[in-house]
Amino acid sequence: MPTRRRALLILAALLGLAQASIVLALMVGSLSLAPGEVLAALWGNDYGVAGEVVRSLRLPRALTGFACGGLLALAGALLQVLLRNPLADPYVLGISGGAGIGALLAIVLGWGAGGVNGLAFVGALGAMLLVFGLAHGEGGWTQSRLLLTGVIVAAGCGAVVTLMLAIAPDDRLRGMLFWLMGDLSQSGEPQLVMVLLVVVLLVALPFARELNLLARGADLAQALGVEVRPLRRGVYLLASLATAAAVTHAGAIGFVGLIVPHLVRLATGNDQRLLLPASALAGGSLLVVADTLARTIVAPQQLPVGVLTALIGVPVFLFLLSRAAPARR
Amino acid sequence: MSEPAPLLRTRALGVGLAGRSFCRDLELTVRGGDRVAILGRNGAGKSTLLSVLAGLRQPQAGEVLVDGARYEQLGARASARLRGWLPQDRSETFSSTVLETALVGRHPHLARWDWESERDVRLARQALAAVGLTELERRDVQTLSGGERQRLSIATLLAQAPRLYLLDEPLAHLDLNHQMATLELLVALARERQVACVMVLHEPGLALRFCTHALLLFDDGRVEQGTCDEAISSDSLSRLYGYPLREVTDQGLRWFMPA
């Protein structure tokens, strides 16, 4: 267990990393900028092309990416505790599937970015309520029942998504595939997700020590003074909303929500008081870096960011896993 | 002057699970210093009864009073400062160290924004020392043996420092010397700090030796209870387990062996 001081130091370091990732995202692109130029553009002293590019193109995209990455990592960390399953990720309960149906439908209908986001959110909310209602049943829900219900609903959504891909007109396919792999190029305004990231974190943090207990088992947590029922519902709602918001803005970006909590856990231990904020910062940074690479590696063409998160995350994760194994014995 | 409320009291308690009734109209009173052994066959409802007593499961009828109040009146946090519960089996999904796991017991004593203080760490270390796990403080719980894990669970409970201990098979997985050490520890707690223990046991001889009272839970939902001397005899145990048992006395200690 980290001391409070050590936790704050780790968070300060991660905050620095987050800022560095955003500055990098602002510097790199078809128009390369020096750090000084980026700062000048940010403070609004630069009314030229550079200022315009930084303020209205790169900054919103970087902030949206950061917020979505943070939300996904937070949702993953919360769901791994809720389901007591290290394999849980934000999409395991079918939220991305529901959002996918909504988004693809909007794309097939030829709606703009706003329509796609709106319908994706409706789909995510629908899947969330469906899983919650079905899993609740009589006598409250158990972890395995919630997990099974979620997996089945996700599978059903997956089938519908495949069906839509099969019958969609060719000219829409590329957009649909990009959405499914996660894509920040149409992400829109960052304010909403940024606020949501802060809100989710602020709501979750006071319950972090109770989440530590929940991770050790519901009965044990109850016996040690945690009101388990309301806590579980709250965590489910919070994680679902975080996922829905992220998926709505950036598509079903894989990997961040599964791997970032594990990365942080391997590096700092499983204390949710540190794990939750650290996951948010690390997840945001990872997504910003991945998105920066996605739009520059084969520029002017853009890659789906979901591919990059996996390509960066897999080797880092495997390295940490092999390094941590001897110490835990 | 009225007598202080008993640490645990049940009124007309009915306990059951999945359409089965384990006991009806149970009137149980446990005071500080008491050690109650729950004996019964597999599936007789011992663990279910214990989790109802711990407030983790709703009774079918009647009520459970801890220090004179129902669990709903107390709330989870205040309840956790009064009663502790030792689960029968415990699996850890995520890795954490032995010391971190013992520190979990301090949760009900900490306010929402508190971080574990040096005093909490000291209490957790004392608890680990009491069950002989000091050396393993930094080990990952996922690498512990079954018996070590059981002792760690007991240490977590000691760190929680409740007044009422509800223990579901506290001797499970323990070797003989740790079985005796655990029971001696509980008896010392009951004598010195006036805590009460209710524990599920499978060895009537140990119940006789370390407990003050016994509660026999029969398969058909009948309950026999009383002081150990009243409730435990070769006759009652033979009926309880459905197997003839013979009493053996050696140097004042009574044991029961399968006839």
User: What pLDDT score does A328 carry?
Assistant: 43
The pair of structure tokens assigned to B224 is: 């026999």
Dihedral sign computed on CA atoms, order A276, A277, A282, A288: positive
Alpha carbon of A24 to those of A35, B94, B248: distances in Å?
Answer: 8, 35, 81
In this model, does residue A161 exceed pLDDT 60? yes
- Rounded to whole angstroms, the maximal C-alpha distance in chain B is 59
Averaged pLDDT, A232-257: 89
User: What pLDDT score does B89 carry?
Assistant: 78
Q: What is the pLDDT of residues B153-175, one digit of tens each?
A: 999 999 999 999 999 999 999 99
**Domains of chain A by residue range:** 4-327
CB contact under 8 A, B105 and A4: no
Quote the mean pLDDT of chain A.
Answer: 88
Residue B25 backbone zone (phi > 0: left; psi -120 to 50: alpha; other: beta): left
Cβ neighbours of A84 in B, within 8 Å: 93
CB contact under 8 A, B51 and A219: yes
pTM reported for the whole predicted model: 0.92
Q: What share of chain B is helix, strand, coil (3-state, %, to 5)?
A: 40, 25, 35
User: What pLDDT score does A187 carry?
Assistant: 66
For residue A136, the one-letter residue type is H
Quote the mean pLDDT of chain B.
Answer: 94
The residue among A224, A270, A275, A328 with the most chain B CBs within 10 A of its CB, best to mutate, is A224
User: What pLDDT score does B213 carry?
Assistant: 97
Place of tokens 């003050």: B212
Distance CA B256, CA B240 (A): 13
Cβ neighbours of A215 in B, within 8 Å: 93-94
In this model, does residue B186 exceed pLDDT 60? yes
Averaged pLDDT, A220-241: 93
Query: Can you say how many angstroms the Cα of residue A16 is from the centroid of all Cα atoms in its chain?
Result: 20
Distance CA A40, CA A26 (A): 12
For residue A80, the one-letter residue type is Q
Cβ neighbours of B168 in A, within 8 Å: none
Locate the chain A residue with the closest alpha carbon to B54. Answer: A223
In this model, does residue A329 exceed pLDDT 50? no
User: What pLDDT score does A34 carry?
Assistant: 85
B204, exposed or middle or buried, with CB in 10 Å at 0-12, 13-18, 19+?
buried
CATH value of A4-327 in 3.40.367.20, 3.40.50.720, 1.10.3470.10, 3.40.50.2300: 1.10.3470.10
Query: Can you say how many angstroms the Cα of residue A161 is from the centroid of all Cα atoms in its chain?
Result: 21
Comparing A307-311, B36-40, B123-127, the range with the smallest average pLDDT is: A307-311
